[in-house]
Chain A
């Protein structure tokens, strides 16, 4: 998996911005990602999870739907890590994308 280009990073931000919490100092990466997944689960936008995985992995859903759910979760976690998701949200928020 490769880091996203800027145009794709904007798309990822738009998908995940409402699910990314503020990070706290004593929080582990697992807890942080867990919060993102909980937010998606508890929202009425479950498609955000699939959309984010498709975008970050550059794989079609037709291909991904045959993957084991654990493998899809791993793609999601790897994608968030490679794309420095906390910095991503922070940058686009600061630039004024946080009105939506």
Chain B
């Protein structure tokens, strides 16, 4: 895993360190704005947020708006790679369809993560801010898995979790906890009865009776 990189802008080499949690969340917020702007075809907002990403990732406040587009794009791609999570955690594949709540605001994501880690481990804001990205995401997944286990336990103790016949209804799990389901596209093959094996069938995982 690379912890630093460099980009060349306007013939000047800028060093960049891999972002720690607080700055990474800020960068991810900007990336989200970039994606939204592209989706709306809002070129002005798209460009402004690309420059903003470079400024935050490089921790500098310089005007790059006069530079050739490919210098900016090369730097953006390099810094995006540097600040990408390295671990392929299931929680990263969760559906992005998260509706915004009424009390949402710009920058809330950081406070939301800080709240989770402070509550779970008693860490200070400064400590949480400096967490490695992969550590933070892996820990988030563990916290969320624990929360789900607790909910499942509480659900199991309620009457509504059983149907009229007394059969337990499982609490639905979030998408990322369900694992990858490979669709079974194989069609069942019909065989003539005469072609089926006769007598006792011994399977590979069984030992024949002595």
Select the stretch in A29-37, A47-55, A64-72, A80-88 that faces chain B. Answer: A80-88
Residues of chain A from 1 to 30 with CB closer than 8 A to chain B in the complex: 2-11, 14
Partner among A4, A7, A87, A95 whose Cβ is within 8 Å of the Cβ of B38: A95
B41 and A6: CB pair below 8 A? no
Chain B residues positioned under 8 Å from A9 (CB to CB): 69
Report yes or no: A5 in contact with B43, Cβ–Cβ below 8 A.
Answer: no
- What are 29 A-B pairs with beta-carbon distances under 8 A? A2-B68, A3-B69, A4-B68, A4-B69, A5-B67, A5-B68, A5-B69, A6-B47, A6-B50, A6-B51, A6-B69, A6-B73, A7-B43, A7-B44, A9-B69, A10-B43, A10-B47, A11-B43, A14-B41, A14-B43, A83-B70, A87-B70, A88-B69, A88-B70, A95-B35, A96-B35, A97-B46, A99-B39, A100-B41
Kindly list the 4 A-B residue pairs having the minimum CB-CB distance in the complex, ordered from nearest: A3-B68, A9-B69, A10-B43, A96-B38
Where the two chains meet, the residues of A that have a C-beta atom closer than 8 Å to any C-beta of B are 2-11, 14, 83-84, 87-88, 91-92, 95-97, 99-100
